[in-house]
Structure 1
Amino acid sequence: MALTMYGSATEKPSLARGAGQRVLLAVEDPEVAELLSTTLELAGYRIDTVGTGTEALARLGAHRFDLVVLDLTLPDLERLTRGQRGVIQRPPVLFLAACDALGRLLPELGLGEKDYVTKPFRIAEVLARAQVLLRGTNTGRRESGLGYGDLALDDSACQALRAGQALHLTPAEYRLLRYLLVNAHKVLSKEQIGRYVWGDFHGDNAIEQLVSRLRRKVDREGPALIHTRRGFGYWLGRSAERE
């Protein structure tokens, strides 16, 4: 496996820094496990590494972890899924998933407690996703109840609602809306949005198209909530409340 597909452990982890949180890395491929372990340790995390679902279950039962990074190709993964019923601790999980596994994965995602990156992944994206998941546990917040006025997220179903009507968002649109809600009334730059949604900056045009699609769905049946601050970025809220 070519590690260049996944970035390099020598990349400076400028997007995210750990503070000694303990991470369980459950990855079968030893080269990918070594790359992730080295990078996360350099970023300030404490790492335990296992290569099977059985080992992961045993480690979760014996120790407390702040985050689990879980490869969906892990051997005997179903054992880990079944065995978690007996594990009191429920740390957030970052899945490493192939694109063809997303149809099975996405209905199970409760964002804020679980998230994913697609393979081949970028190290910067793994660091960014880990930081977001850990931020939720560090602040003691459950973000499953995010909302603004008549706009709400149902994370258990990965669904956005406005005035009780489903908006039918794509994963990228959902992630963007979540980011805007968490930062309501704060202007977010295109670079910030790109790095949050995709793990890197996709360029102005990609961000503009994504925001435009989301705005058409969110603001179709009610007063505009997503706004442009020309030359700076985008923000969510009611205009009168920000002025």
Structure 2
Amino acid sequence: MTARTKADAMTEDDRLAFEAHKREMSLALGRDDEAFRSALDTLVCLDKYDYSYLWSWMGVPIIQMPADVMATQEAIWNTKPDIIVETGVARGGSMIFMASLLQVIGKGQVIGVDIDIRAHNRETIESHLLAPRITLIEGPSTAPETLARVSAEIPDGASVMVVLDSDHSRDHVLAELRAYGPLVTDGQYLVVADTLLGRGDASQTPTKRSKVLYPGNEPYAALKAYLAETDRFAPDPVLNGKLVLSSSPGGYLRCKSP
């Protein structure tokens, strides 16, 4: 037995213990209201610097908090969906990010839906090396004709994840939840972005936006209303527990039934 083999033999395999500790700490953090409030104060402070606008993925602005990028990566890697539908294209970074994960996994397509895909953003996306894994659909996200086009891009038997990140007003998000929630397949995620807007008070609402949304008229209010209507989804306590420096705390729902 070589020295390396002996050392390996004496080293405990702690991978399961490490994962168990991660889960325990994530759940504990999710129960720590003081930590969440402290993080919220930090995010409010950072908003003056447009913090979520400072990041890019593979050269394209992603407009996400780093914690949300990591959480979405975990969701995709753990469930390996065939199709990811995202409402809200913006500059395209989120779709490039998700497509890059599907490329590594070796399968899948991202469908981006937006009422207005600006020409320069479309050019950025369609000229990117990951463009073959992206399908763009322009139109109102909840319009029947748009939904029909989305459904036509989903093969029979495909596993489907959905990310809702377009107009963040309560009624629109609730309409999207009702329209796109049924597309999500068993075990996959339904992600509601920017739930942070409903987790603070009015004085903490970001105002450097094209549309200012105060608590009650935002995604978290829509999420709560939707969960009262359906038993198909439940918040993932581990993933959400870690999301204290996040735009979407509580926004990661797991489909628990066909």
TM-score strictly above 0.5:
no
| Structure with greater proportional strand content | 1
Larger radius of gyration: 2
Q: Considering Cα pairs closer than 8 Å and 6+ residues apart, tell me whether 1 or 2 has the greater RCO.
A: 2
| Structure with greater proportional helix content | 2
Q: Per the shorter chain, which TM-score range?
A: 0.3 to 0.5
